[in-house]
Structure 1
Amino acid sequence: MSATIFAAVLLAAFLHATWNAMVKVSADRLSAMGLLTLTSGLASFAALPFVPTPTAEAWPFLAASVFIHILYRLCLVRAYQHGDLGHVYPIARGTGPLIVVLLSAMVVGEVLPPATLAGVLIIALGVMALALRGGPKLLEEPRPLLYALATGGCIAAYTLTDGLGGRANDGHGAAYVLWLLALDMPIFVAAVAVRRGRSFWTVVRREWARGAAGGIMSVAAYALAVWAMTQAPLAAVAALRETSVIFAAAIGTLFLKESFGRWRILAAMMVAGGVVALRM
């Protein structure tokens, strides 16, 4: 993995953690997610005249990804209804790379070299260690774990789908993401508007500036990630992208006054070790 791709994925991870923190601080997370989806979709629509139309080979991947992203958001919202963000988010993000390793080997034939595979596994284990900070309490109520694992499965599915879709789109990963977000936005926003009613539009009016910033970050983060997947192995990019959990932990500690603790420090060191293995 080149230094340019490496830096791009780390930037994507930072942007992803930042917009997730914006959603977290909202009193109505579903409406906040709808607002972010609305602004990212509008930004993508505005950019469509300046990017190529998807190739015929890319359209099936786009159609599948729209469905997967909607399912991903629904699973994520359900997970947050039953569990804490600090547990659900790391489990979902840590499960994805492990599944991508298996699927990319079976579907795409990308077998990772030992050092890269070690880096992927170390990062995934470090992310999961962040999630298991609560110990046995996590198993007292199984629904958060089950929904988080389902979310991780969706993450793996759209990572593989969009990585292949970006490649099928003549390598225009950023253009692929813009079309994806533009197509995905009306469906999800309509669902949130029906579910939340007037309260959704209240959130739109009250938090539009935060939503606009988060939407732009969301577009940039995923465009960088999909572009990287057109240049490097899918599993390696997916694993490196999960350093967003460390960025999220840092944002929570510095700005949301959350406790970091020794357990999180150990998990952060594991993720850092995995990053070094990937870079080598």
Structure 2
Amino acid sequence: MSTLVFFAVIGAAILHAAWNALVKSGADKKVSMGAVVLGHMPIAVVVLFFVPMPALASMPYLAAGILLHFGYQLFLLKSYEKGDLTQVYPIARGSAPLIVALFSVVVLGVQLDMLQTLAILIIGGGIISLALVRKSDGQQNAQAARLALTTGLFIASYSLIDGLGARLAGTSLGFYSWLTIGNGLLMGAYLGVGARAALKTIVTKGRKTFWFGGGASFIAYSIVTWAFTQAPIALVTALRETSIVFALLLGVFFLKERLNLMKVFSTFTTLLGVVLLRFAK
């Protein structure tokens, strides 16, 4: 992985943690999530004037990606209703690189050297160890953990589909722009049928999240989609999950969530994996 790709993905991780914090901090999670997803669309429409159409071979991947992103967003919403940002986000994001790496090696035949494999295992294992975090009453939040792990399966699935699709498309930005428009239409339909009040609120109280959250999310995943075409999907997915470090800081300092030894351990373990990945070939 080149230095440019490495630091671009780190930047995307910071933006990704920021919009997740916006969703979690919002009083109505549907409003926040809907505002972020719909906030992609104005940017995507403008981008389409400057990029070519994705190649026809990428269209099945585009359709699958739209559905998988929508599924991810629904399960993330459910997860945030049951658990803290500093629990839900790490479990969801930590499981994804492990699944992607396993699929890449076993099914796609991707060859990872020992240091790359070790880095992915340390990053994923360090993050997912936060499943052991307990609630304020001392009990493990098993329901939130299950929902977060399901969210992780969606993350792994759309990462693989988007990476393969962007490579076939010949334009990573064009591929993602069309994907996010389709995703936005699905989210708009979902809110229009089941949460009309939330849809109306986005226009008034949700404007900040629409523009800032939507903009941050679009830029973050545009970078990641481009990175999928420049480096192995498994490595990009693992590096993207350094967002746990930034999510942890946002959760503690801005959302006033509790910091404990397990969260600190997980953060430093993740950083160790990042260092190894940086020096891997």
TM-score w.r.t. the length of structure 1 is: 0.94
Unpaired segments ≥5 residues, structure 2: none
Q: CA separation in 2, counterparts of 1:248 and 1:79? A: 15
Q: CA separation in 2, counterparts of 1:142 and 1:206? A: 33
| Structure 1 residues 199 and 180: CA distance shift in structure 2, 3 A | closer
* Aligned-pair CA distance for 1:53: 0.3
* Partner of residue 18, structure 1: 18
* Partner of residue 190, structure 1: 189
CA contact (8 A) 1:89 1:131 kept: no
Q: CA separation in 2, counterparts of 1:36 and 1:91? A: 21
* Aligned-pair CA distance for 1:195: 1.6
SS of equivalent to 1:49: coil
TM-score w.r.t. the length of structure 2 is: 0.93
SS of equivalent to 2:57: coil
Q: CA separation in 1, counterparts of 2:58 and 2:142? A: 38
CA contact (8 A) 1:229 1:237 kept: yes
Answer yes or no: is 1:126 the counterpart of 2:113.
Answer: no
Aligned AA for 1:60?
P
Aligned AA for 1:137?
Q
* Partner of residue 139, structure 2: 137
* Aligned-pair CA distance for 1:93: 0.5
* Aligned-pair CA distance for 1:143: 2.9
Aligned AA for 1:43?
I
* Partner of residue 205, structure 1: 204
Residue-pair matches, total = 277
RMSD: 1.6
* Aligned-pair CA distance for 1:144: 2.1
Answer yes or no: is 1:87 the counterpart of 2:90.
Answer: no
* Partner of residue 233, structure 1: 232
* Aligned-pair CA distance for 1:57: 1.1
Q: Deviations over 1:226-271 (max 9, x none)?
A: 1111111111110110011110111222323333333222111101
Q: Deviations over 1:64-96 (max 9, x none)?
A: 111111111122222223333322221111110
CA contact (8 A) 2:239 2:274 kept: yes
* Partner of residue 52, structure 1: 52
Aligned AA for 1:224?
I
SS of equivalent to 2:105: helix
* Partner of residue 117, structure 2: 117
* Partner of residue 146, structure 1: 146
* Partner of residue 259, structure 1: 258
Answer yes or no: is 1:6 the counterpart of 2:21.
Answer: no
* Aligned-pair CA distance for 1:210: 2.8
Aligned AA for 1:188?
M
| Structure 1 residues 72 and 210: CA distance shift in structure 2, 3 A | closer
Q: CA separation in 2, counterparts of 1:106 and 1:31? A: 39
Q: Report % sequence identity.
A: 40
CA contact (8 A) 1:86 1:131 kept: no
Q: CA separation in 1, counterparts of 2:91 and 2:261? A: 19
Q: CA separation in 1, counterparts of 2:264 and 2:75? A: 28
| Structure 1 residues 156 and 74: CA distance shift in structure 2, 3 A | same
Q: Deviations over 1:107-135 (max 9, x none)?
A: 32112111011110101111112342228
SS of equivalent to 1:231: coil
* Partner of residue 267, structure 2: 268
